[in-house]
Structures are given as structure tokens and as C-alpha cells.
């Protein structure tokens, strides 16, 4: 693996890690609280392994997000230390107990350790967050990476957990920006490679190198889109035919991208690159890929993206515990995860069919929306909104807003065409502002955002969103 001169880790961070490690050593029981996505699940697995190896009693609790109840639960927990992973930095000033460790990469709470909240009692709280050290939490290190840094400070033998931090980083798309892991992620990657757990190679970075039949691998490649290939079944079949690449192997089964001889992969990648033309797009298509060497090729856990996708689908189906078992090496959990994933796909296509066949999509002047009620799980409504936006039912020039019933109100997901974002629309701002106006809470990214609002405020909320979108597009 090439050395790209990635930075050292900050000495101040390592100092904080040593302080937190000492606190963990002095504890008898630890509660690990972590997020339900791939980064959160791998974080939980790293933290739990580090604690158990120290002989501590340790439980893992998964949370979709931090709510007031989660904060209350953490403050009231009888565990000597609560270790919050991949979450928590934004709530630092709300933790009022002793023995709080946060290893997170989300933007920290500005009130933390300001004059207002700095109390003597807080001496036993520890926060490890890259933003506090001038490092980006978006692509330089993830929650699992921060958790791993602490695990390694506890005991250098925990280097065998580094591969989980690589899976977490890939799960959070931290390698997307440069088509490879950089900075602190790269230091962690080096640990994982050095320990023999991860192999780095170069190739087409699309999802499904080992799990998708060749044709689907090409046809459903996420980003960048290749003209005549992406979403073009016939184009894919022609490409394979013209290079003499058989779709089925000698045993009659579908071949995957990784089944192909290296020469065929190089030739096909070259063909895809020449259709892209733009070097920036080629750089997004072809880059580093990471395999987890402790698992067999084709096992579903060998390719880091497929590993992360399996964990994400566990989380989406309220079964992060199964993902944790997989991270702990329990392969019987993989069959359960497989069922989760099948279920996930089925529920997305059922949800999409429900929206389309009932003509739920309504157009207004600046936005279009659908209300899925309780027919679509709130955990997948964002994915469905994105698919509706890309379908022929939608107006390609307007954002799609989706509503779904949730336990704590109405979940809102919104997706915008990139052209609108280029014109100045930022859905994160829109969701934040519109939800505030109706007594809800929202945020996210410029192209994809969400909110939770009170059930009786949908109409008013739509008016507010439309008003904000109109203003953003007509400054």
C-alpha cells in the first residue's frame, strides 16, 4: 500500500485517550451507547471488545439518535462509565454524571467546557472528537476510528480491531472524497493492513464486487454514472459481449466482478473510463478497495463495502445486535442479516410500488410531496423519496418531500435534484428552519435532509418549506 504521508495523530488527542483509558481501567462496569449504522455498530464492537479484554462488565445499547430520554438514561445509568460512540458530542453539556467518555466525529456541542458548563465534576468526562483537533469528521476519521484510537491506547494488542474501524469508515463513505481513506483513517488502515486483516487494491469502486452478478454490478453502479452502462441493461450486456466476457461461470452460476481474471477487469474498467472521459469522474470510479482478509471471498464480509452494507441493513431493521454479533465473528448471525437485507429490499420496492400505484405524489409550485402514512417504514422513507425523485412520476426540477408516521411524530425526508443545490438550495437549512417554525427538529445535508415534526402540522410545514425553497431559488 502506498504511503501518502498521512499526518500523525495529534499529541493532545493521544493525551485525552490515555486519560480516558485510565478511567476505563478504574471502572468495574461500562455501558456502551452507540449508533445503529455500520459506523456505530463497528464502534460498539470495538468498545465492547476493549472493555471485556480489560475484564470489565460491559453492555451495549443501540440508539437511532440521542433524545432527551437517551440523555436521561445515560445520566441515570448505574454503570461506572458510559462510553458513547459515534454519537454524543452534540450533547456533551447535557451529560451531568461522572464517567462519560465520548468517541464521536459529529460536530461538537459549542457549549461544552465553555464557562457555563465547566464544573469540577466534569473532570471525569472525556471527549475524543476530531473537530476538537482541527481534523475533519467527514472524511479524515469516523466514529469507529475514534473508538479504535481509544481501544489502542487501552492496549496496543487491540490492533486486531483496526479492521472494524476500516469497515466503519467505508460505511460512512469516508473514502468517497478521494477514492481512498486518508489522514487518520489511513493511519488506522495501516494498522489493519499491518495486522494482516485488510488488503488494499485498486479497482472499480462500485458496490457489489463480490455479491452482485456482473451485469447488475455494472447496471446499478451508484456513482459516477457511466453513459450507456448505468441503468442500461442492454448496454451492459453489449459491453460484456464485446469484450468476450461470459456472464456465467463454468458451473452455470452468475459470475461476479471479482470472479473475473484481472485482465478482464482491467479491460472493462478501461472501457468504462473511456465512456466517462472526465478525469474527475474516472477518479471517482476507480480507486482503492479494501478487503477483509479474515473472511473468505464471496462470504459477504470479505469486501468492506458489502460488510458495511450488511451492518447498515441490520441497523435499519432494528437489529443492530445481529450486526454486533457479526463484528464479533459470529457467522451464524450472517444468515439473520441476510434475511434482514432481503426484507430491506422487499420493503423498499413495496414502498415504492405503494407510492406509485396509489398516485400519492402531489405537485405544488416549488415542491412535490407524498404522505406514506404508516405504509412505509420511517427508516427507509428517505431511500424511497430518492427513488421517487429519480422516477418518471416526479418533476425532475423540484425537491421531493416524504412523510411517514413515526413513534415520536411524523418523520420527514427530503431529497433535491443536484441542479437545485447548485442554484443555492440547501435542504439542511430548509429542514432546520421549517421544522423550527412548527415545533419540530430537522437538519441533514444540502441534497438530502430530514426532520421530525408534530403529527398535526404537516400542512403548515409544507407551506413553510415551499416558502423557503422559493426564497432560496429566487434570491
Binding positions for Mn ion, rule: CB under 5 A:
39, 86, 142-143, 172
> Least Å distance between CB 144 and Mn ion?
7
Q: Which is nearer to Mn ion, 168 or 224 (CB)?
A: 168
Q: Which is nearer to Mn ion, 101 or 438 (CB)?
A: 101
Cβ atoms 449, 440 nearer than 8 A: no
Cβ atoms 100, 125 nearer than 8 A: yes
DSSP category for residue 180: S
Q: Could you give the 3-state DSSP secondary structure of residue 129?
A: coil
**What gap in Å lies between CA 54 and CA 236, rounded to an integer?**
53
Among residues 192, 195, 233, the alpha carbon closest in space to that of 215 is found at 233
> Least Å distance between CB 154 and Mn ion?
21
> Least Å distance between CB 400 and Mn ion?
25
- Tell how far CA 248 is from the center of its chain: 33
Q: Which is nearer to Mn ion, 143 or 409 (CB)?
A: 143
> Least Å distance between CB 86 and Mn ion?
4
Q: Which is nearer to Mn ion, 86 or 140 (CB)?
A: 86
State residue 159 phi and psi, 5-degree precision.
Answer: -60, -25
Q: Which is nearer to Mn ion, 144 or 336 (CB)?
A: 144
> CB under 8 Å to 418, separation ≥6 — which residues?
447
Q: Where are the beta strands (DSSP E) in 301-371?
A: 362-363, 368-371
Q: Which is nearer to Mn ion, 88 or 409 (CB)?
A: 88
Supply 216's cell numbers: 447488475
Count of CB atoms situated within 10 Å of the CB of 196: 11
> Least Å distance between CB 141 and Mn ion?
10
> Least Å distance between CB 170 and Mn ion?
11
**What gap in Å lies between CA 450 and CA 428, rounded to an integer?**
8
Beta pairing, strands 362-363 & 198-204: unpaired
Q: Which is nearer to Mn ion, 37 or 306 (CB)?
A: 37
Cβ atoms 165, 144 nearer than 8 A: yes
Q: Which is nearer to Mn ion, 172 or 303 (CB)?
A: 172
Q: Which is nearer to Mn ion, 308 or 453 (CB)?
A: 308
> Least Å distance between CB 341 and Mn ion?
20
> Least Å distance between CB 35 and Mn ion?
6
Let me know how many helices (H) and strands (E) the chain has, helices first. Answer: 17, 13
> Least Å distance between CB 142 and Mn ion?
5
**What gap in Å lies between CA 450 and CA 411, rounded to an integer?**
7
Residue 459 buriedness (CB in 10 A; 0-12 / 13-18 / 19+): exposed
> Least Å distance between CB 241 and Mn ion?
42
Cβ atoms 214, 240 nearer than 8 A: yes
**What gap in Å lies between CA 475 and CA 473, rounded to an integer?**
6
Q: How many CA atoms lie within 13 A of 186 on its CB side?
A: 18
Q: Which is nearer to Mn ion, 164 or 239 (CB)?
A: 164
**What gap in Å lies between CA 186 and CA 140, rounded to an integer?**
8
Q: Which is nearer to Mn ion, 63 or 86 (CB)?
A: 86
> Least Å distance between CB 136 and Mn ion?
13
Amino acid at each position: 500500500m502506498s504511503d501518502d504521508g498521512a499526518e500523525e495523530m495529534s499529541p493532545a488527542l493521544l493525551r485525552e485517550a490515555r486519560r480516558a483509558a485510565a478511567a476505563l481501567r478504574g471502572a468495574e462496569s461500562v455501558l456502551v451507547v452507540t449508533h445503529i449504522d455500520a459506523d456505530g455498530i463497528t464502534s460498539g464492537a470495538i468498545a465492547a471488545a476493549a472493555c471485556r479484554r480489560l475484564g470489565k462488565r460491559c453492555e451495549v445499547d443501540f440508539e437511532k439518535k440521542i433524545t432527551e430520554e437517551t440523555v436521561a438514561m445515560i445520566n441515570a445509568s448505574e454503570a461506572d462509565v458510559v462510553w458513547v460512540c459515534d454519537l454524543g458530542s452534540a450533547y456533551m453539556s447535557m451529560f451531568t454524571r461522572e464517567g462519560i467518555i465520548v468517541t464521536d466525529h459529529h460536530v461538537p456541542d459549542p457549549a461544552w467546557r465553555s464557562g457555563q458548563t465547566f464544573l469540577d465534576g466534569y473532570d471525569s468526562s472525556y471527549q475524543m472528537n476530531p473537530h476538537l483537533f482541527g481534523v475533519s469528521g467527514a472524511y479524515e476519521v469516523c466514529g469507529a476510528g475514534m473508538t479504535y484510537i481509544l481501544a489502542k491506547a487501552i492496549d496496543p494488542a487491540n490492533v486486531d480491531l483496526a479492521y472494524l474501524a476500516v469497515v466503519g469508515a467505508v460505511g460512512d463513505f469516508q473514502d468517497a472524497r478521494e477514492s481512498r481513506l486518508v489522514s487518520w483513517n489511513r493511519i488506522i488502515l495501516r494498522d489493519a493492513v499491518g495486522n494482516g486483516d485488510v488488503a488494499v487494491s485498486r479497482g472499480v469502486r462500485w458496490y457489489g464486487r463480490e455479491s452482485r452478478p456482473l451485469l447488475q454490478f455494472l447496471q446499478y453502479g451508484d456513482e459516477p454514472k457511466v453513459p450507456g452502462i448505468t441503468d442500461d441493461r442492454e448496454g451492459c450486456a453489449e459491453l460484456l459481449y464485446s469484450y468476450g466476457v461470459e456472464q456465467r461461470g463454468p458451473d452455470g452460476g452468475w459470475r461476479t466482478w471479482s470472479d473475473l481474471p484481472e485482465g478482464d477487469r482491467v479491460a472493462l474498467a478501461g472501457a468504462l473510463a473511456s465512456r466517462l472521459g472526465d478525469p474527475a469522474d474516472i477518479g471517482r470510479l476507480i480507486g482503492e478497495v479494501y478487503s477483509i482478509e479474515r473472511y473468505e471471498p464471496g462470504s459477504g464480509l470479505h469486501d468492506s463495502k458489502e460488510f458495511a452494507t450488511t451492518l447498515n441493513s441490520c441497523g435499519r431493521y432494528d437489529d443492530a445486535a445481529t450486526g454486533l454479533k457479526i463484528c464479533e465473528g459470529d457467522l451464524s448471525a450472517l444468515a439473520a442479516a441476510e434475511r434482514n437485507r432481503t426484507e430491506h429490499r422487499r420493503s423498499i420496492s413495496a414502498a415504492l410500488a405503494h407510492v406509485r400505484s396509489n398516485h400519492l405524489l402531489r405537485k405544488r409550485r416549488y415542491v412535490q410531496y407524498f404522505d406514506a402514512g404508516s405504509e412505509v417504514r420511517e427508516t427507509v422513507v428517505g431511500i424511497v423519496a430518492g427513488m421517487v425523485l429519480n422516477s418518471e412520476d416526479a418533476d425532475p426540477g423540484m425537491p421531493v418531500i416524504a412523510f411517514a408516521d413515526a413513534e415520536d411524530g411524523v418523520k420527514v425526508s427530503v431529497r433535491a435534484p443536484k441542479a437545485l443545490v447548485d442554484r443555492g438550495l440547501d435542504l439542511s437549512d430548509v429542514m432546520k428552519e421549517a421544522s423550527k417554525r412548527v415545533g419540530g427538529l430537522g437538519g441533514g445535508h444540502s441534497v438530502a435532509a430530514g426532520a421530525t415534526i408534530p403529527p398535526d402540522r404537516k400542512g403548515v410545514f409544507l407551506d413553510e418549506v415551499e416558502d423557503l425553497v422559493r426564497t432560496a431559488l429566487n434570491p
